[in-house]
Amino acid sequence: MIAGLFSLARPFLHALDPETAHQLTIRSLALLPPVSPPSDDPRLSVRALGRLIPNPVGLAAGFDKQCEVPDALLSLGFGFVELGGVVPRPQPGNPRPRVFRLERDEAIINRFGLNSEGLEAVRVRLLARKGRPGVVGVNIGANKDSGDRIGDYAACVAALDGLVDFLTVNVSSPNTPGLRDLQGEAFLDDLLARVSEARGDARAAIVLKIAPDIGLDALDAIVATALRRGVDALTVSNTTVARPASLRDAALARETGGLSGKPLFAPSTRLLAEAYLRVEGRMPLIGVGGVDSAEAAWTKIRAGASLIQLYTALVYKGPGLTADIKRGLVRCLEAERLNHIADVVGRDARTIAQGDFD
Ligand SMILES: Cc1cc2nc3c(=O)[nH]c(=O)nc-3n(C[C@H](O)[C@H](O)[C@H](O)COP(=O)(O)O)c2cc1C
């Protein structure tokens, strides 16, 4: 029903500038009466992040930045929802316009710059839903003008532990100058140690989210550091600063910011497969970037993802996509007579890392 309503509204929303359309979408979701999410096929359940997650299809960070509608998003059928990015003190982000739809490429470029109402506003909202069902996490970052970036992440963890199931350490947003430098080994080691210490008794799972624009040496160091520091999952990947030559919307492609959607699928999935080959089953991977169909989700899982997330395809295909992907994953399992989605994780990592997705 909800998916149908949004399909009807899509032409109207796409006639508006992308940020206004998004604000309207969030306001509409906030008005929806609470409904329980549909129950999922048990073959799709995933044990990760210290939880039994009913299906592997998650909502990626950036959709509900101010943590306003987690329960409405869960009711769309996502197995888990990542809210945020959130930073400790309120900050406006970059001037508008700061998000662009590359319609012909089924892509988005954004340079929001972690616009956030700040930790306190978000903490109050999450406190109000404490104890409700559904796997929910928050993506955390540092203020643009922070003198102690690592302290910012630790402050977010200390304030939100106990209110959410997982916290994603975002060291990969391209729109906060210097943030991605925290992916360097020495910084990352210190950051992950401080984040882990900052947790209270609830001990939310810690997830690390990386950029697609890193070399394999950097990936080696990130995986080793994450494993040493007991990170619970690695998310591959954030948006890219690269501009593939194949982009058709050439004028918009020149906008500064992170590119997401279809053109991100191949590079982020190759990096995911490379990460899987290094992790060797020691922590689960969350595959993000250009998932727009059951086939794309199946490829991410074959590349090594235990869980997947999406954002940009929702803008182009609407919220019915989540149910379509789940149905399609069950069909893929049945076609191969497999009992569980876990049987597929990483099966083709070696060939996908070489760029062969078939
Ligand atoms: C408008 C927009 C805002 C985003 N904001 C965040 C953010 O705050 N933190 C973060 O880690 N990723 C953010 N992302 C990245 C997404 O979570 C995701 O990693 C990326 O878009 C690739 O997935 P997709 O191709 O399915 O969109 C944002 C993406 C978009 C399009």
Report yes or no: 322 and 57 within 8 Å, Cβ to Cβ. Answer: yes
> How much is the pLDDT for 37?
85
Atom in ligand 1 nearest the alpha carbon of residue 61: 17
Atom in ligand 1 nearest the alpha carbon of residue 82: 17
CA distance 308 to 57: 5
Q: pLDDT, tens digit, for every residue of 185-200?
A: 999 999 999 999 999 8
> How much is the pLDDT for 62?
98
> How much is the pLDDT for 152?
98
> How much is the pLDDT for 1?
64
> How much is the pLDDT for 12?
83
115: Cβ–Cβ under 8 A, 6 or more apart, which residues? 65, 91, 92, 93, 94
Ligand 1 centre to CA of 196 (Å) is 24
- Determine the residue of 63, 66, 109, 238 to mutate for testing ligand 1's pocket, defined as the one with the most ligand atoms within 8 A of the Cβ atom: 238
Report yes or no: 167 and 206 within 8 Å, Cβ to Cβ. Answer: yes
Q: pLDDT, tens digit, for every residue of 269-320?
A: 999 999 999 999 999 999 999 999 999 999 999 999 999 999 999 999 999 9
Ligand 1 centre to CA of 200 (Å) is 28
Q: Which residues are catalytic?
A: 173
> How much is the pLDDT for 54?
98
pTM: 0.98
CA distance 235 to 247: 25
The 3-state secondary structure of 14-80, one letter per residue: HHCCHHHHHHHHHHHHHHCCCCCCCCCCHHHCEEECCEEECCCEEECCCCCCCCCCHHHHHHCCCCE
Q: What is the SS3 assignment for 89?
A: coil
| Ranges of the chain whose pLDDT falls below 70 | 1-2, 5
Neighbours of 139 (CB within 10 A): 25
**Residues enclosing ligand 1, CB less than 6 A?**
60-62, 65, 84-85, 99, 108, 110, 112, 114, 139, 170, 173, 209, 238-239, 260-261, 264, 288-291, 310-313
